Amino acid sequence: MEIMTDQRFRKTAKVFRAALFIGMICAALFFLVYFSIIGYAKILGPPPLAVPQSTLYMADDGSVIGESNSGQKRYWVPLKDISPDLVKATISIEDRNFYAHNGFDYKRIAGAIIADIKAMAKVQGASTITQQYARNLYLEHEKTWKRKLTEAFYTLRLEMNYSKNEILEGYLNTIYYGSGAYGVQAASQFYFGKDARDLTLAEASMLAGVPKGPSIYSPLANEKKANDRQAVVLRSMEIKEYISRAEADEAAEAPLKLVGKHQRDSVGQAPYFQDAVQKELKYTLKLDDRTIALGGLKVYTTVNLEQQQLAEEMVAKHISEDSEIQAGFVAMDPRTGHVKAMVGGRNYEESPFNRAMQAVRQPGSTMKPLLYYAALENGFTPSTTMKSELTTFRFDDGSSEYTPHNFNNKYAEDEITMAQALALSDNVYAVKTHLFLGEEMLVDTAKRFGLSTNMAQVPSLALGTSGVRVLEMASAYSLFANGGQYVEPVLIERVESHDGTVLFEAEESGKQILKPELASVMNHMLTGMFDPKLNGYSSVTGITMVDEMSRPYAGKSGSTNTDSWMIGYTPQLVTAVWTGYDVGKPIVKSTEKVYSKNVWFNFMEKALEDEPAAPFKTAKGTIGVFVNPENGKIATANCPVKRLTYFKDGTEPQEYCTDHLDAGEEHPKKPAKEHEEKPEKKPWYKRIFSL
């Protein structure tokens, strides 16, 4: 018996020693693995906090006009800008020991395991705020062991490298509250129409209960369950001694005003402009789609909200609701190239096609100022005359011919000047000039002005038969307005990352393309469409606007069978308007033919009503001479009409008008120059011209 007992003892001791040895090996392996994980986590350093955030688009005054349309609303706010009641409510209901544990609440984990075993089902969660934050940042919400182990590793790295407040801030900015709202700021705005910092205890306790199940505990989805959940949150806050029983009861009874709407809808303001900005981010700044949508960018644009709203109003007001006519509109600052307003169509939701940037349409006579600038460079002057008569041009030994026609088939009885031809939009004069310069000249000039579309070297190019874009035409005319400097159209001033790092900033551009003195001559010629003094055999094209103009404008209208244009400017603002049918159908109704002018004029008048009426400055190297607009010669005292016309110095007319001189009048010998002063005596020719 003793022998058997001794054998049993030795056997038990052997098993114990083996178990102890195995236990020591397991413990050693555990600590080896544990410290290896710790060491590996330390080597890796802090995990990047690449938190998805909505990209915001700002107007030129810093106000938000829209955001990335990803279906998700994500805005990051610092912890200090979150209601303390919401912070306390979240900690109370989600992780009471948040500030005490190292990322894992082992007591809570054990309790959850026991509860699950008793219920034979998953009934209680044990994830800490840090674990949930790790899941939101780096992982999908699939329930696999691989995901749980990866989550634990990221939790460890977060706790090792970030403070508790940084983790809490990140969690509150990434947790999902339903209805596309991620984070407390988006949720506060959606549910209560206010910022997270302004939430009351009642609102905070209601909101803190939603993440457990947004489709169940949202007050918009199920009011009773939401109220029950709010009571649980308030009780948890009371247990944590964040609030008193009286405060909890008061919050539970407080009425809540629910909004249930995001502050910015999916379209936002200036939708065509926003689309153009997004394309700029993608194709010019080379940002990928995810960064644009959820990179938390702040995109500071050039759009002016007042001018944008005004542009949209003018399009809606002056184009009949019953008409199928569409519109493309661009307003920009010619000094900087900043696009201040853009309308790409009459209804973005019906048609997001941007006619201001994407449509290529025939510009008609709005191409003529580019032609006449080239003519000035090649020896023409505002007083250069040619006959405007019905003319057939024959080419290639008579095998082809071209006959341009003036509007209503009206032609001058005699020669007309280039200034008159521009104001009256004479087509014969334009084609003659084009052919004289050579058909390639206008093609090259259009490229210099920034037009990127293909131009056909044909006689009709002078009349705008090759397509252009509205934005590029506005930019081209800005060269006249700013004295000849080409400035790229600018939609984006600056782009910042979510942490404020400047990713892009527009550089000032201003390459001198035109000769300043010739740009100045063109500016004054382009005021002619509003000047009745240039009225010859028909009215100037802007005659209907003259009586209501509050300031000097320069500009040019244009039309084809299918397109109607008006482009005009002051030194502060250039605006281009196109109207027409998308399908290229002819514009027949007379009321529809004036839509572009009406939109342009009323926009300019209202957009500039608080601005001083700035005159067009004359550049150095120009001279102003009073001429008879009918023949371009120096006007005398007897000329019934005289117009101050600017020329490049040395190209002004030397011949005097003799059509209205009395027989005994002395013939003057010098041209009248604007602003010429003599300290001793007023010049004799000024005495004549001042009569």
Kindly give, in sequence order, each residue whose CB lies less than 8 Å from that of residue 275, ignoring residues fewer than 6 positions away: 344, 352, 354
Angstrom CA distances, 330 to 318, 470, 578, stand at 16, 7, 9
365 is catalytic: yes
pLDDT of residue 598: 96
Name the pLDDT band for 247 (thresholds 50, 70, 90): very high
Confidence of residue 327 (pLDDT cuts 50, 70, 90): very high
Dihedral pair phi/psi, residue 656, rounded to 5°? -95, 150
Percent of the chain beyond pLDDT 90? 62
Query: How sure is the predictor about 102, in pLDDT bands with cuts at 50, 70 and 90?
Result: confident
Catalytic hit among 54, 67, 68, 94: 94
pLDDT in tens, 481-520: 999 999 999 999 999 998 889 999 998 878 999 999 999 9
Across the chain, what does the average pLDDT equal? 86
Average pLDDT of span 240-249: 95
- pLDDT above 50 (res 289): yes
141 has pLDDT over 60: no
Residue 678, pLDDT score: 35
| 240 CB burial (10 A radius; 0-12, 13-18, 19+) | middle
Helix, strand, coil abundance in the chain, percent, nearest 5: 45, 15, 45
Give the pLDDT mean for 179-192: 94
Which pLDDT tens digit goes with each residue over 336-361?
Answer: 999 999 999 999 999 999 999 999 99
What is the torsion angle, in degrees rounded to the nearest 10, for the CA atoms of residue 220, residue 224, residue 228 and residue 230? 30
Per-residue pLDDT, averaged over 249-255, amounts to: 95
Residue 59: its pLDDT value, please?
Answer: 96
Q: Is the pLDDT of residue 139 over 70?
A: no
Task: Give the mean model confidence (pLDDT) for residues 279-296.
Answer: 90
pLDDT value, residue 267: 60
Confirm whether 466 is a catalytic residue. Answer: no
Burial of 282 (0-12, 13-18, 19+ CB in 10 A): middle
What is residue 39's predicted lDDT score, i.e. its pLDDT? 57
* Type of residue found at 27: A
Is pLDDT of 172 > 50?
yes
| Radius of gyration over every alpha carbon of the chain, rounded to an integer in angstroms | 38
Helices 84-94 and 223-239, packing angle to 10 deg: 90
- Out of 31-45, 160-174, 436-450, 543-557, the most confident range is 436-450
Pick the catalytic residue from 127, 218, 236, 365: 365
Range of weakest confidence among 14-23, 277-286, 417-426? 14-23
Q: Which pLDDT band, with edges at 50, 70 and 90, does 100 fall under?
A: confident
Contact 337, 509 (CB under 8 A): yes
CA-to-CA distance for 659 and 669, rounded, in angstroms? Answer: 16
Q: Specify the pLDDT at position 669.
A: 44
| Pairing outcome for strands 326-332 and 298-301 | unpaired
Q: Is the pLDDT of residue 403 over 80?
A: yes
Q: What is the pLDDT of residue 161?
A: 83
- HSE-up of 62 (CA within 13 Å, CB side)? 0
Q: So what's the pLDDT on residue 211?
A: 94
Split at pLDDT 50, 70, 90, the class of 679 is very low
Helix (H, G, I), strand (E, B) or coil at 400: strand
User: What's the confidence (pLDDT) of residue 4?
Assistant: 54
